[in-house]
Structure 1
């Protein structure tokens, strides 16, 4: 049906393979190649979204081992052949397609979910139910504060999210830093700690992490986070800058003792880590959980920087391979790593190990890690500099027009793009070229993806070589050369309707914001019931175990 590059498998076979991987027998990745918005409208919870649009850029970090069995998923098979061709060209050896796509999956009586990072969110709901994690509503919180109660709100999201909007008076303490810093933040055990986020997931995991560590303070989740404030008619605070200070030695000593019991295995030695790196039979992900400035000062070349809280929040994106190995790098205290490993082991399907940064060999890489891209050179594409493009646009002639086509992710395009450039999906390029004479100059955030798209386009149709160029360095180089970028401000749903490449979080909805937030929170709470009805529940979430002895106070 699909040719000789790959085979097709049915729903039951896919379930058998994932079930085996979740029990430690082999590994597998289930990759849905539709655009993110379509994926979020109906997805298989076993899958990870790697859109065909940017597959070549994302696949090296998502699927680091070329022999990992990969199953391609789409709606009913329309994108599978292209995805397999590209993956095969990049060197992947074991490729299959889910026969009939998600439509057949659903017809076979297996469930579909909506949303994004769904497995992580369902897991958090499971945690709240299993641990009976206590919570408080926004209205109750402000009533208690007005009554003089000693309450401190800790926003567990990354600082940028906190800075954009937060609970009035909240302190920024990203999830992986909560236990490390809590004894400095709230030295009096009578202070009630309320952990918040944008919705529910990170506040549940953050609050339960504090409780499981044995913090003596009363700890509550803020039910529904900043979304709950919106629904209760309470104004958010914008532009807050109250960041937690680095943990003191005393606070870190307490946190280290409080988390030692969470993970049984000792940290990796240098030789053990080297053995994992040399094992070609298993996929390996290496994540550095330290703060961004420490990572930038020096890190292992293979390590990607992800804060602990964000790793659990989006584990399907960061580690798509079932039964992969994960190494969590931290400082010598290993507090972040132990917390993260504790939750990942309960989520299931990973073999997790810890490692202290001083143990890491060659930890000398400086600056942000560059996303690796496997060799994909298929054709030569002409490049133009920012100055050359600016001159061409200034002298643009109707007979031989120059059109700038921006392939950036739509949020980046809306934030800043070259004036009069057109946003497009990669799949639309041939159609654009067929509309008339002239040339198109491809750009994107850094120019990397535009170069990939241009190579494939010219390789497939060599006659287009004279009409396709790529802006060297993309929009970043354009701005660096002193040329302006313009923003597109969405005023109504129609302004964003054609941007189908991303799922829009509810609190960024244009139009009925409160309706979107309410629907999202209802959906998130309902995940627990939906998961309970799922015959694959035992695969999706291993279970929840309480920490063994209580931490010292």
Structure 2
């Protein structure tokens, strides 16, 4: 399958600068992607296109560009993308190396947000404390509150002593309850730098009367200084009282007006939902609130994480975004950052009727029949000379898999299957079976000499039958390059990796300046005398 056309790196970059709709897909595994990719590239491995692409790129007529670095994935990716119904698919001329000749390539993941955080600090001079100074302050001054701006799960894994979980999108919403006295010092921390910087600057932007500082370099900086972290803490910043809520809303409204955040009503959102332009409807509240009740068509994207990892929810540059909350605070503060990140974003007026509509999601109408070759657990157990191949992420595979199963990288599956000895049937599995089903036909086409099947319900079905998993990790059909080991998550990272990550972040502002395609704009503080 060949695409309609190719696109040059220069043309791609013009789309970004002009804010035209376009999605750039890196169809390699996450490991190579994290080593080098263009600024706005999305990580969508070729083996996961059916699962990952539709939510990120909901309109089938959106221009989609794919690339690899010479691995030979792009033709397979184009075939799978066009099979879903996407009608404007292009291949990037020269792949990654061709792009690198005209634009910057970046390490790590969620790079636009991290680079933007560094830009914010360089322009706004966001105040911060080094770990030893923060530790001294905490030891000597009881009137200090530490708010951890990461996801609760990250906080629960490891945290600064005395810290409380308060994800970044919740900071202004909860700060007047967490620190009711304006004399209380507030320290905002994350694992590295971005969420500490953005979280601290959020409170300063909103003119919170407290002294607010970031913990410089977060839990990484704390660890590198030889200080001890706490583990498995469960403290959360409390929800606001009615008075604290009113105060926070006044501050949010003043800052949002200064930035230029526009609120819209349900009628306007309904009209946009019917237009042929990509629209993302996102509920920025805490996941627990979203689970209890939410508006039709709005996906949950907690505000702090949406700013930190926008590319995990919004895949089309040049798209339109509408944010929703029930308090008038979290959506405004999140929108104020997304605007500065170059997005066209609006807030649904909290007093407006929520529209009973969904954004135009063309791929939902695409019919995809289940492929042939599905088998049940009982049928699997009756097979002889069978080889099981697991397409789970490598950390999931290590944690537990069907006994005897081999790990395989999805993009390399069609190549690595040929190395399996014997001539018996091969059964693909994955955590819920969906990824196995999505890849069985392609595997069958490349290995016609073997019977290719897939396990209905995947490894979860095995467990639901009361069957044990194995943690033996000696069967690696493919190299485990599918997951980038983030230096700022977990508790077993090497010091060199943590320091290297910080050094990389410090260099991002220079890369942005040299690249010239970000469309970022950091808004200065409100003028003196603005009344709250």
**3-state SS of 2:227 partner:** coil
Structure 1 position 489, deviation (Å):
8.3
- Give the RMSD, CA atoms, in angstroms: 2.7
**Change in CA separation of 1:495 and 1:441 when aligned onto 2, cut-off 3 Å:** closer
- Which residue is 1:79 aligned to? 73
Cα offset, 1:509, TM superposition: 7.8
Q: CA deviation at 1:32?
A: 1.3
1:184 to 174, 177, 181: 177
**Hey, what does 1:202 align to over in structure 2?**
195
2:413 is matched with which residue?
Answer: 428
Using the alignment, how far apart are the partners of 1:518 and 1:195 within structure 2?
20
**Contact map agreement 1:410 1:423 (CA 8 A) in 2:** yes
Tell me the equivalent position of 2:25. Answer: 31
Q: Which residues of 2 match residues 125-164 of structure 1 at below 5 A?
A: 125-148=118-141, 150-164=143-157
How far did 1:503 drift?
A: 1.0
Tell me the TM-score normalized by structure 1: 0.88
Measured in 2, the distance between the counterparts of 1:297 and 1:512 equals 36
Partner of 1:367: none
Q: 1:6 aligns with which of 4, 21, 37?
A: 4
In 2 relative to 1, CA 497–203 (structure 1 residues): closer, same or farther, beyond 3 Å?
farther
The Cα offsets for residues 159-187 of structure 1, whole Å up to 9 and x where unpaired, read as: 10000001111011111111011111111
Report what 2:225 is aligned to.
232
1:334 Cα shift? Answer: 2.1
Q: Could you tell me how far apart the structure 1 residues matched to 2:476 and 2:79 are?
A: 34
- 2:111 is equivalent to residue 118 of structure 1: yes
Give the Cα–Cα distance (whole angstroms) in 2 for the partners of residues 279 and 340 of structure 1: 24
C-alpha displacement at 1:88, in angstroms?
Answer: 1.1
Q: Quote the offset at 1:430 in angstroms.
A: 5.8
Matched, 1:102 2:96: yes
State the match for 1:384 in structure 2: 376
Q: Is the 8 A contact 2:335 2:345 kept in 1?
A: no
> Deviations along 1:228-268, whole A, 9 cap, x unmatched?
11100011111011112222111111111111131445533
SS at match of 2:372: coil
Give the distance between the partners of 1:461 and 1:53, measured in 2 at CA. Answer: 16
Tell me the alpha carbon deviations over residues 157-216 of structure 1, each in whole angstroms, 9 at most, x when there is no partner: 111000000111101111111101111111111111000000000111111111111111
Aligned equivalents of 2:129, 2:471: Cα separation in 1: 39
CA contact (8 A) 1:176 1:307 kept: yes
Residue in structure 1 matched with residue 427 of structure 2 by the alignment: 441
Preserved contact between residue 258 and residue 551 of structure 1 (Cα < 8 Å): no
TM-score by length of structure 2 reads 0.91
Q: CA 1:29 to 1:363, structure 2 compared with 1: closer, same or farther past 3 Å?
A: closer
Which residue in 1 is equivalent to 2:298?
303
**Residue 289 (1) aligns with residue 275 (2):** no
Residues in 2 aligned to 1:383 and 1:442: alpha-carbon distance in whole angstroms: 10
Give the match for residue 546 of structure 1.
524
Q: Give the conservation status (yes or no) of the 8 Å contact 1:198–1:227.
A: yes
Quote the Cα distance in structure 2 between the aligned partners of 1:140 and 1:179.
24
Could you say if the C-alpha distance between residues 217 and 551 of structure 1 is closer, same or farther in structure 2, counting changes exceeding 3 Å?
Answer: farther
Label 1:373 to 1:120 Cα distance change in 2 as closer, same or farther (>3 A).
farther
1:5 shift after superposition = 2.8
1:330 and 1:337 in contact (8 A); partners too: yes
Query: Does residue 409 in structure 1 map to residue 393 in structure 2?
Result: yes
Aligned partners of 1:407 and 1:442 also within 8 Å: yes
Partner of 1:480: 464
Return closer, same or farther for 1:244/1:374 CA change in 2, 3 Å cut-off: farther
Structure 2 match to 1:368: none
Do the aligned residues in 1 keep the contact of 2:36 with 2:107 (CA within 8 Å)?
yes
The structure-2 alpha-carbon separation of the partners of 1:77 and 1:92, relative to structure 1 and needing over 3 Å to count, comes to: farther
Measured in 1, the distance between the counterparts of 2:23 and 2:59 equals: 11
Say if 1:412 and 1:105 are closer, same or farther in 2 by CA, change over 3 A. same
User: Is the 8 Å Cα contact of residues 31 and 484 (structure 2) preserved in structure 1?
Assistant: yes
Equivalent-residue separation in structure 2 for 1:212 and 1:242 (angstroms): 26
Q: Which residue of the partner structure matches residue 18 of structure 2?
A: 20
SS at match of 1:97: strand
Query: 2:229 & 2:514 partners in 1: Cα distance?
Result: 36
State the shift of 1:388 in Å.
4.5
Structure 2: 5+ residue stretches without partners: none
State the Cα deviation string for residues 273-328 of structure 1 (Å, max 9, x = none).
11111011x11112111222221223234322121010111112321211101111
**1:285 match: secondary structure:** strand
> Whole-Å Cα distance in 1 between the matches of residues 80 and 233 of structure 2?
45
Conservation of the 8 A alpha-carbon contact between 2:284 and 2:330 = yes
Return the alpha-carbon distance in structure 2 between the equivalents of residues 489 and 132 of structure 1: 47
**Residues 1:178 and 1:431: Cα distance change in structure 2 (over 3 Å):** closer
Residue pair 1:330, 1:356 contacting (<8 A) in 2 also: yes
Distance in 1 (CA, whole Å) between partners of 2:11 and 2:60 is 21
Q: Supply the distance in 2 between the matched residues of 1:227 and 1:498 (Cα, whole angstroms).
A: 28
5 Å-filtered alignment, 1:301-340, equals: 301-331=296-326, 333-340=327-334
Contact 2:116 2:520 in 1 (8 A): no
Partner secondary structure for residue 239 of structure 1: coil
Q: 1:106 to 1:360 in 2, by over 3 A?
A: same
Range 437-446 or range 517-526, more displaced:
437-446
Q: Does 1:470 align with 2:454?
A: yes
Distance 2:35 2:251 in 1: 41
Contact 1:338 1:354 in 2 (8 A): no
Q: 3-state DSSP class of the match of 1:506?
A: coil
